Amino acid sequence: MNTAQSIVIGIVEGLTEFLPISSTAHMRITEKFIGIADADPFASVFTIAVQLGAILSVVMLYWKKFLNVKNIGFYIKLLIAVLPALVFGKLFNDIIEGILEKPAIIACIMIAGGIVFLFIDNLFKVHTIDAEEDIKPLTAFKIGLYQCLAVLFPGLSRSAATIIGGMSLRLTRAAAAEFSFFLAVPTMFAATTYKLYQYYTNHGPFQPEQIKQLAIGNLVAFVVALLAIRFFIGFLQKHGFKIWGVYRILLGAVILVMLYTGLL
């Protein structure tokens, strides 16, 4: 990978990680267009490790929650919510890796998720939880189970699964989105740590040039994610999810057409 590719991937990660449009699908498409080889083991770990920059943006924006050592209940709820995804991710790792190699499946999952988003605002109209403090541990665990859907079905979008799960459990749009952001921190940190460990075990220490590319990609992802999160919360409160559903359906259809015509 070169610096230009690292910057592009960082931008895509920062833009899509916290939007309900599947960062996985966008990363796979971007890799194809900018000439990153499928067989490049560093590129594979880079697209996961660049998530660190994105999750640091969440910690910075919500530092009062993450850095308040007295807020034990907050940490307990995140731990409870992240456990199902860690277990499912470990159990079904080989299956997940197989799906990631099949963009047609990812595109179909994107379209299916988009159809759900067309109707989600009408499906879940009762909202009694409008802040993280009001989320009970059992509710956090149930949202964690929804997150497993994104683990098992790449292209669904982790944020989409957790936001839909939160709204089905009577969280408001904003509360569901914010808890999705919070849950991303331990989830993505665990995934990144595991991927880095795998790379180190199989290929040895990172080379100076690779460390440089990781630093650049994460810095770009951090800055872009800061802007994306701010935009998403405000947009979501005003406009809901329908536009994201339309976007997912259109992008999924474009991917299928490109696959059929040999462009992807």
Distance CA 84, CA 148 (A): 7
The whole-angstrom distance between residue 7's C-alpha and the CA centroid of its chain comes to 18
Return the pLDDT at 99. Answer: 67
Per-residue pLDDT tens over the stretch 220-245: 999 999 999 988 888 887 888 899 99
Per-residue pLDDT tens over the stretch 66-76: 988 888 999 99
Return the pLDDT at 253. Answer: 95
Is the pLDDT higher at 56 or at 102?
A: 56
Phi, psi of 171 (to 5 degrees): -80, 150
Distance CA 87, CA 79 (A): 12
Percent of the chain clearing pLDDT 90 (strictly above): 57
- For residues 116 and 164, is the Cβ–Cβ distance under 8 A? yes
- b/e 172-202 (16+ beta carbons within 10 angstroms → b): bbbbbbbbbbbbbbbbbbebbeebbeebeee
What number is the average pLDDT over the span 101-119? 88
pLDDT above 90: residue 44: no
The DSSP bridge partners found for residue 129 are 171
Handedness of CA 43, 44, 47, 52 (dihedral sign): negative
CA angle 84, 88, 94 (to 5 degrees): 165
Q: Which domain holds residue 226?
A: 3-261
Range in 96-100, 150-154, 169-173, 201-205 with the lowest mean pLDDT: 96-100
Q: How many CB atoms are closer than 10 A to CB 70?
A: 6
pTM score, two decimals?
Answer: 0.90
What number is the average pLDDT over the span 194-211? 92
- b/e 74-104 (16+ beta carbons within 10 angstroms → b): beebbebbbebbbebbeeeeeeeeebbeebe
Per-residue pLDDT tens over the stretch 128-181: 899 899 999 999 999 999 999 988 888 888 999 999 999 999 999 889 999 999
Return the pLDDT at 230. Answer: 85
The structural domain count of the chain equals 1
What number is the average pLDDT over the span 188-201? 91
Distance CA 246, CA 12 (A): 19
